[in-house]
Amino acid sequence: MAVLEVLKYPSPVLNNKALPVKEVDSKLKGLINDMAETMYALSAVGLAAPQVGKLLQVAVIDVTPKEEGKNLIVLINPRIVAKEGEIFLEEGCLSIPGYREKVKRWARVKVEAMDEHGEKREIEGEGLLSIALQHETDHLDGMLIIDRISSLKRNIFKKNMKKQLLAKEQG
């Protein structure tokens, strides 16, 4: 297992739709293991394959508090099939380090996906799990949290990012 490099905004890969997985093989299982290792090493609650440069519909999630151990959820070709309620909480993203913003999400969702064994499963989540499920499926659709905020906040974010990138180039 290996800790993978996480792509950062404005990498164009992050804005592409991921492709459906056709078969669960040893190569895919290796990617899933590496993604889980990366997620845990970075103390994150989720990671999608596009974030590590793989345009596949694969995500890993674990919202279990550290002191309670691990409860890895693997999602292959996930689809949100039911949603209800509304929640408005602050989110962060490994691909946009240091940036946090309040994002409007569904309070409860039901997701259909395959697991790492190719078995079909349903996951229902609310609270943090609901947010993580939506956040990671967004990544698979080429969306970031900045695509879910107001255009004013998004423009401010982009201006600040351009300034930071210029400062790095000149520094």
What's residue 164's pLDDT?
87
CA 158 to chain CA centroid, nearest Å: 20
What mean pLDDT comes out for the span 52-70?
96
Whether residue 1 is predicted with pLDDT greater than 90 in this model: the reply is no
Domain count, the chain: 1
Chain-wide mean pLDDT for the chain? Answer: 96
- Asked whether residue 1 is assigned to any structural domain, the reply reads no
pLDDT tens column, 105-116: 999 999 999 999
Whether residue 34 is predicted with pLDDT greater than 80 in this model: the reply is yes
* Residue 169 a catalytic site member: no
pLDDT tens column, 5-30: 999 999 999 999 999 999 999 999 99
What is the DSSP track for 38-51?
Answer: HHHHTT-SEEEGGG
- Asked whether residue 5 is assigned to any structural domain, the reply reads no
Whether residue 42 is predicted with pLDDT greater than 90 in this model: the reply is yes
- Asked whether residue 128 is assigned to any structural domain, the reply reads yes
- Asked whether residue 101 is assigned to any structural domain, the reply reads yes
What's residue 165's pLDDT?
84
Domain carrying residue 74: 12-170
- Asked whether residue 3 is assigned to any structural domain, the reply reads no
CATH of the domain at 63: 3.90.45.10
Whether residue 171 is predicted with pLDDT greater than 80 in this model: the reply is no
**Bridge partners, residue 153, by sequence:** none
93: alpha, beta or left, given left = phi > 0 and alpha = psi -120 to 50?
A: beta
What's residue 72's pLDDT?
98
- Asked whether residue 2 is assigned to any structural domain, the reply reads no
- Asked whether residue 6 is assigned to any structural domain, the reply reads no
Closest to 39 in 3D by CA, of 152, 169, 132, 158: 132
What's residue 107's pLDDT?
98
User: Of residues 5, 68, 86, 136, which has the active-site annotation?
Assistant: 136
88: alpha, beta or left, given left = phi > 0 and alpha = psi -120 to 50?
A: beta
What's residue 66's pLDDT?
86
What's residue 17's pLDDT?
98
pLDDT tens column, 91-106: 999 999 999 999 999 9
- Asked whether residue 150 is assigned to any structural domain, the reply reads yes
pLDDT tens column, 136-153: 999 999 999 999 999 999
* Whole-number Å distance between alpha carbons of 167 and 126: 41
